[in-house]
Amino acid sequence: MTITGTGLAATDQVTFNGTPAPFAVLSDTTVTATSPPSGTEGTFDVTVTGPGGNATGSFTYVSAPDI
Exposure string (b/e) for 7-35, b if CB count within 10 Å is 16 or more? Answer: ebeebeebbbbeeebebebeeeeebebeb
pLDDT mean over 38-60: 89
DSSP state, residue 66: P
Backbone angles phi, psi at 37, to 5 degrees: -65, 150
Give the per-residue pLDDT at 35: 87
- The tens digit of pLDDT for each residue in 9-38 reads 999 999 999 999 999 999 999 999 998 887
